[in-house]
A = this chain, B = another copy of it.
Amino acid sequence: MKLKLLRADLSSGSMRDEFVDEDEVKLFIGGRGLGVKIIIEELKPGTDPLGPENKLLFMTGPATGTAFPMSSMFHVITKSPQTGGIGETDCGGTFGPELRFAGYDGVIIEGKAAEPVYLWIREGEAEIRPAGRYWGKSTWDTEDCIRKELKDPNIKIASIGPAGENLASCAAIINDKHRAAGRTAAGAVMGSKRLKAIVVRGTKRPPVADEKKLKEAVQNALKMLKESRITGHDLPTYGTAIAVGSINEHGLFPTRNFQTGVFPTAEKISGETLAKTILIKSKGCWGCPIDCSRVIRVTQSPYQVEGEGPEYEEIWALGAQCYIDDLNAIAKANNLCDELGIDPLSYGNTVGCAMELSERGKISKEKLGGLELKFGNPQAIVELTWRTAY
């Protein structure tokens, strides 16, 4: 089957539909494969990742939005300002499927808007709308405000927060308030184009080549997921943080800027501890039966927060890498990252690295205003979120 892509040039405001032939779709598997191909073909060497010549692709795969379980994922592909190479980052939530329901398999963003805008795609129609009033807002407020503006609580929104607007090199694109296309600073590319959000809504269902075979595959997959201890019990009960204990035992848990792979107090930040302390309920991405997301609440000052996570990776990035075993502080930092549009992994690793540099005397204390940038200080991982975003 052909794919339908939307190409939007924010410099001129022009948009057009493009189609990708089935042969090519089969040659470059999934949104990631096709997206990387487009970036390689269309970007000149030496392109400034934060310049208007860079392109920002939101791509889905053939399974996205079908009945196949765990098919919520979409991919963001761009030249990364964080690495200088091709950046690719994957994301769950609700945005990917809804993009296909809205009639597109992918979006290619080009150029740079003169003023902040958002892209509104509904039932095969696309429109570039002003977003000046949302510039400066968090991803959470942006979602709430755009839903209010468009008078539809069911639209799906992928947006940037202040971190992306300010071109932070750990800026993420967030959808569903807590799902991050995090790695490679795609959020900064979006900010450089003054694109605050992509908003999607539709009722189209993705085409399926063989409905009968898909149904069989879905049933098999659901059975496997249910019967597996990991996907049938551990992930639903403890989230991805179930991995903390075993990976730490195997000496592969990134700790203290990865000076070591063992965190002595890992049990204080494990999935089991999370379930016993701050967990309210579990939650899943679109169409996924596993429900590995954690809805949480920290009631104790100074790290009170309501939100989601942390996931396994966030626990080591915001926790062990910084030698922090305060689960409340990790949860607080994690949700501030979501809210401000920061990738918690890039951010946590950077703070861990800064802590090592600081302890080795490579970072002047003058600029820290009294904040001790040393391993184990939970204040640092929380306070540096907003200092990074703004």
Residues of A with Cβ closer than 8 Å to B?
136, 140, 162, 166, 297-299, 301-307, 329, 335, 339, 369-372, 377-380, 382, 386, 390
A369 touches B136 (CB 8 A): no
6 other contacts beyond A301-B380, A302-B378, A335-B369, with CB at 8 A cut-off?
A299-B370, A301-B379, A302-B302, A304-B372, A305-B371, A339-B369
Least CB distance, A115 to chain B, in whole angstroms: 15
Least CB distance, A176 to chain B, in whole angstroms: 16
A379 touches B303 (CB 8 A): yes
A369 touches B307 (CB 8 A): yes
Query: CA A372 – CA B303 in complex, angstroms?
Result: 10
Least CB distance, A212 to chain B, in whole angstroms: 45
Least CB distance, A7 to chain B, in whole angstroms: 32
Please name the residue on chain B nearest to A162 by beta carbon.
B390
Q: List 10 A-B contacts (CB under 8 A).
A: A162-B390, A297-B370, A298-B370, A299-B372, A301-B378, A302-B382, A303-B379, A304-B379, A335-B369, A335-B370
Residues of the B chain whose Cβ atoms lie less than 8 Å from the Cβ of A377: 301, 304
B379 touches A386 (CB 8 A): no
Least CB distance, A30 to chain B, in whole angstroms: 35
Query: CA A302 – CA B390 in complex, angstroms?
Result: 20
Query: CA A55 – CA B298 in complex, angstroms?
Result: 47
Query: CA A307 – CA B370 in complex, angstroms?
Result: 8
How many copies of this chain sit in the oligomeric assembly? 2
Please name the residue on chain B nearest to A335 by beta carbon.
B369
Residues of the B chain whose Cβ atoms lie less than 8 Å from the Cβ of A303: 302, 379
B307 touches A136 (CB 8 A): no
Query: CA A386 – CA B162 in complex, angstroms?
Result: 13
Please name the residue on chain B nearest to A141 by beta carbon.
B367
Q: A136-B390, A162-B390, A386-B386 are in contact. Are A370 and B302 (CB under 8 A)?
A: no
Q: A136-B390, A390-B390 are in contact. Are A369 and B301 (CB under 8 A)?
A: no
Contact of A371 among B304, B329, B370, B372 (CB under 8 A): B304
Query: CA A184 – CA B331 in complex, angstroms?
Result: 37
A379 touches B302 (CB 8 A): yes
Query: CA A85 – CA B162 in complex, angstroms?
Result: 34
Please name the residue on chain B nearest to A340 by beta carbon.
B390
Please name the residue on chain B nearest to A298 by beta carbon.
B370
Residues of the B chain whose Cβ atoms lie less than 8 Å from the Cβ of A370: 297-299, 304-307, 335
Interface centre among A136, A299, A379, A380 (most CB of B within 10 A): A379
Please name the residue on chain B nearest to A331 by beta carbon.
B370
Least CB distance, A389 to chain B, in whole angstroms: 8
Task: Sort A-B residue pairs by CB-CB distance and give the 6 closest, nearest first.
Answer: A306-B370, A302-B379, A305-B370, A301-B379, A302-B302, A386-B386
Least CB distance, A281 to chain B, in whole angstroms: 15
Least CB distance, A28 to chain B, in whole angstroms: 41
Residues of the B chain whose Cβ atoms lie less than 8 Å from the Cβ of A329: 302
Residues of the B chain whose Cβ atoms lie less than 8 Å from the Cβ of A307: 369-370
Q: A386-B390, A390-B136, A390-B386 are in contact. Are A369 and B306 (CB under 8 A)?
A: yes
Least CB distance, A110 to chain B, in whole angstroms: 26
Residues of the B chain whose Cβ atoms lie less than 8 Å from the Cβ of A304: 370-372, 377, 379
Residues of the B chain whose Cβ atoms lie less than 8 Å from the Cβ of A339: 369
Residues of the B chain whose Cβ atoms lie less than 8 Å from the Cβ of A386: 386, 390
Query: CA A370 – CA B307 in complex, angstroms?
Result: 8
Residues of the B chain whose Cβ atoms lie less than 8 Å from the Cβ of A306: 369-370
Please name the residue on chain B nearest to A140 by beta carbon.
B369
B166 touches A136 (CB 8 A): yes
Query: CA A224 – CA B100 in complex, angstroms?
Result: 80
